[in-house]
């Protein structure tokens, strides 16, 4: 499979803007996709997080393996000066758990100013890879649509400050990757969850990688979704069977591979294959 890498100019610009803004915020809210939380950890954000509390939000938990999500939460909770919550930001009120944790992470600063009789607003920078659900989370916290959202990478292009009713201020930032995706397993995971534009990856090869992973780790998901009776078959044979089940065939009963491969990835992204986590 050809190397997957995506770092357009607006991402480089966004990282520079974040570096400039970090001094103006009290903490980071780090949004991760539950289907590949550790693949969503951008090394470029590590420098931003120095000396700042971090709240990890494992988002889209409705699409991921519950046990794997629990393991990820426990591991991230071990990170110093941080906390971790699991939620589905498309559910009304899901973000309510975040505000008390933000206050707790910034407790020392709040108490310091409180002793002086000063009430301050907490400011947080919301970061994450493309399509992790940052803007949806902010809209959930606001109780209304204040930021632009979408189900594909690269929707938010510029920084947006948003004020909440209780005095919190959030900085929505563009979804950002890093200059060189050296680990292609991570790159594949990011492509599968939609953090990398479809246009720059080979969808057919990506689909075969997904089927390989599902055969090894979530075989029942494939069998149940596509009503497959034969499980001990090759990946390409599995793909052909899925095409037949979906009736994605060309003239002469040839398999329409492009349509079939895109459809399988789309089924995964929409949760139609069940609750799946790509990281073992």
pLDDT tens per residue, range 116-140: 888 888 999 999 999 999 989 998 9
Asked if the model's pLDDT at residue 156 lies above 50, the reply is: no
* Mean pLDDT, range 243-263, rounded to an integer: 95
Q: Looking at the DSSP assignment, which residues form a beta bridge with residue 249?
A: 255
Coil, helix or strand at residue 61: helix
| 125 contacts 171 by C-beta, under 8 angstroms | yes
pLDDT of residue 177: 95
pLDDT of residue 158: 52
pLDDT of residue 160: 78
pLDDT of residue 146: 59
> Residue 50 contacts by C-beta under 8 Å, 6 or more apart in sequence?
none
Whole-number CA gyration radius for the chain:
21
Asked if the model's pLDDT at residue 254 lies above 50, the reply is: yes
* Mean pLDDT, range 200-213, rounded to an integer: 96
> Residue 133 contacts by C-beta under 8 Å, 6 or more apart in sequence?
31, 33, 59, 60, 89, 90
Rounded CA separation 132/32 (Å): 6
Sign of CA dihedral 211, 217, 223, 224: negative
The total of other beta-carbon atoms located within 10 Å of residue 178's CB is 17
Average pLDDT, the chain: 91
Q: How far apart are the first and last CA of the chain?
A: 21
249, burial (CB in 10 Å: exposed 0-12, middle 13-18, buried 19+): middle
Asked if the model's pLDDT at residue 84 lies above 50, the reply is: yes
* Mean pLDDT, range 83-111, rounded to an integer: 93
Asked if the model's pLDDT at residue 245 lies above 90, the reply is: yes
């Amino acid at each position: 499979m050809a190397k997957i890498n995506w770092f357009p100019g607006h991402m480089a610009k966004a990282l520079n803007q974040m570096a400039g803004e970090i001094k103006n915020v009290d903490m980071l809210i780090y949004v991760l996709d539950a289907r590949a939380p550790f693949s969503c950890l951008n090394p470029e954000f590590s420098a931003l997080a120095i000396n700042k509390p971090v709240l990890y939000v494992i988002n889209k938990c409705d699409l991921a393996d519950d046990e794997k999500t629990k393991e990820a939460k426990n591991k991230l909770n071990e990170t110093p000066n941080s906390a971790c919550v699991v939620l589905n930001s498309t559910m009304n009120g899901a973000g309510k758990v975040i505000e008390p944790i933000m206050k707790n992470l910034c407790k020392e600063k709040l108490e310091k100013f409180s002793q002086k009789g000063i009430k301050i607003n907490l400011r947080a920078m919301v970061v994450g890879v493309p399509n992790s659900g940052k803007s949806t989370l902010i809209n959930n916290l606001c109780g209304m649509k204040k930021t632009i959202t979408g189900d594909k990478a690269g929707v938010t292009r510029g920084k947006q400050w948003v004020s909440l009713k209780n005095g919190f201020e959030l900085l929505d930032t563009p979804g950002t990757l890093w200059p060189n995706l050296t680990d292609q397993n991570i790159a594949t995971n990011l492509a599968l969850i939609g953090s990398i534009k479809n246009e720059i990856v080979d969808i057919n090869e990506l689909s075969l990688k997904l089927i390989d992973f599902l055969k090894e780790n979530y075989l029942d998901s494939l069998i149940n979704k596509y009503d497959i009776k034969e499980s001990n078959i090759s990946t390409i044979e599995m793909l052909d069977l899925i095409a037949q089940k979906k009736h994605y065939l060309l003239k002469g009963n040839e398999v329409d591979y492009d349509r079939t491969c895109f459809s399988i990835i789309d089924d995964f992204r929409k949760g139609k294959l069940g609750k799946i986590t790509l990281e073992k």
